[in-house]
Amino acid sequence: MTADLFQGWGAQLFWGTMVTLKVAFLSLLAGLAIGLAVALAKLSSARLLRVAGDIYTTCIRGTPELLIILLVYFGSTVALSAALRRIGGPDTHFEMPALGAGVLALSLVFGGYAAEIFRRAFLAIPAGQIEAARAFGMRPATLFIHIRLPLMWRYALPALGNIWISLIKNTSLISIVGLEELMRVSYVATSVTRSPFHFYVLAAVIYLTLTIANSLIIDMLETRANRGVRRV
Q: Per-residue pLDDT tens for 17-28?
A: 999 999 999 999
**Dihedral sign (CA 189, 193, 194, 196):** negative
User: What confidence tens digit (pLDDT) does each residue in 53-91 have?
Assistant: 999 999 999 999 999 999 998 888 777 777 767 776 666
Q: Tell me what pLDDT residue 229 has.
A: 61
Give the count of beta carbons closer than 10 Å to the beta carbon of residue 88: 12
The pLDDT of residue 67 is: 94
**Cα 25–chain centre separation:** 7
pLDDT of 32 above 90: yes
Cβ–Cβ under 8 Å, residues 213 and 164: no
Cβ-contact 151, 129 below 8 angstroms: yes
* pTM listed for this prediction: 0.88
* Count of beta carbons in the 10 Å neighbourhood of residue 114: 28
Please state the φ and ψ torsions of residue 94, each to the nearest 5 degrees.
Answer: -130, 135
Percent above pLDDT 70 for the chain: 93
Q: What is the mean pLDDT of the chain?
A: 88
